Amino acid sequence: MSVPVQHAAQVRLGVRVEVFTVVWMVVEAVVSIGAGVLAGSLLLIAFGLDSVIELVSGGILLWRLSVEARGSTLERVERAEHRAAWVVAVSLALLCVYVLGSAIFGLVTQEKPESSLVGIVVSLAAVLVMPGLGITKRRIAARIDSGALRGDAASSFTCGYMAATVLVGLVLNALFHWWWAEDVAAFVFLFWLVQEAREALEEAREAGEHKEGEGQELRKEER
């Protein structure tokens, strides 16, 4: 099999992996936010909101890979990806503020969230699925030399870490009725979330600088 054919096959595989990611994130977001609202769990709501943000990122990447799979130009998709990168980065930053403020409020007011079996199941599923998905994305990214897919693989690993934090908080609350466990877990969750937000902001800024540099070079050539 020739190199171009192998590359095209890996791109198509990447498309299928991203389709799975998008479907998974839709289910994860709906179930997590719904269960969080019913149980009054900040941790589950925050996990669901993060899934929504990752859904946006995954959808853009799916579009990009689909365009490449069809052999079309990536210029228009790259512009959209750049705009989406800023939307994702700002959304993650705002989510950090929301989680921090809500966790502090929960500890101060001693709000007691109900235990959520559905939340435990969805976070456990994410713990089991996300690492394998991240490994698959990283392998494909190396074969097609895609920085965007490598970044998405890192997001999958981070989602797994977040899910583990959520799972611990929910289990401690369910077994021992430690109402504060979910708020404490939210602070640990925030550790991963801040890292993700910082990386997203850096990537959006670097993409903007790269695009600006290309524009300057193009203007020089036109002169």
Block mean pLDDT (10 aa), the chain, length 223: 76 92 96 95 92 87 81 69 78 89 88 92 96 94 84 87 93 92 92 88 76 54 52
Asked whether the beta carbons of 39 and 115 are under 8 A apart, the reply is yes
Give the Cα separation of 41 and 162 in Å (integer): 15
Among 175, 192, 174, residue whose Cα is nearest residue 41: 174
Q: Which domains does the chain have, with CATH numbers?
A: 3-215 (1.20.1510)
* pLDDT at res. 163: 93
98 by Cβ neighbours in 10 Å (0-12 / 13-18 / 19+) ranks as middle
Residue 178: phi and psi, rounded to 5, are -80, 90
Q: Give the pLDDT of residue 155.
A: 84
Give CA separation, 159 vs 13, 119, 146, in Å.
21, 15, 20
pLDDT value of position 210: 62
- Of residues 169, 161, 219, the one with CA closest to residue 191: 161
Vertex 18 angle, CA 93 and 148, to 5°: 55
Give me the amino acid identity at 141. Answer: A
pLDDT in the model for residue 201: 87
* Chain center to CA of 26: 12
For residue 6, the model assigns a pLDDT of 83
Cα–Cα distance list, 153 to 102, 117, 139, 207 (Å): 29, 28, 9, 18
Please give the Cα distance from 15 to 146 (Å, whole number): 13
Measure CA 155 to chain center: 5
Rounded Cα gap, residues 115 and 105, in angstroms? 19
